[in-house]
Amino acid sequence: MQLNLSSTGSNSDIAGYLSRVNLPSQQETLGSVVAEILRSGQTLNRKAICIRLIVRLDKASSDAEEQQLHALIELLFSK
């Protein structure tokens, strides 16, 4: 049996789905950022976390990753 991708969705839809599947949760991403900061010997504070998130945002490889990082940055400054 042959799968016809054009009838099930575009390649970009499939790529988007697969990138979301492999994306770590917000908690995992934040935990990774905190671990990086602590390993580097920096003081753990809002500014350090924000800088690391912005660096990751600059290197983001997908729209889903960018959205997640934007959401984490927003959480840092919400009340």
Q: Where along the chain do its domains lie?
A: 25-77
Cα 30 to Cα 16, 61, 62, 68, distances in angstroms: 22, 17, 18, 10
User: What is the pTM (predicted TM-score) of this model?
Assistant: 0.71
* Range 7-24 average pLDDT: 66
Q: If one looks up domain 25-77 in CATH, what number appears?
A: 1.20.5.5260
DSSP H helices, the chain, are 5-8, 11-22, 26-39, 46-58, 63-77
Residue 23 pLDDT level (bands cut at 50, 70, 90): confident
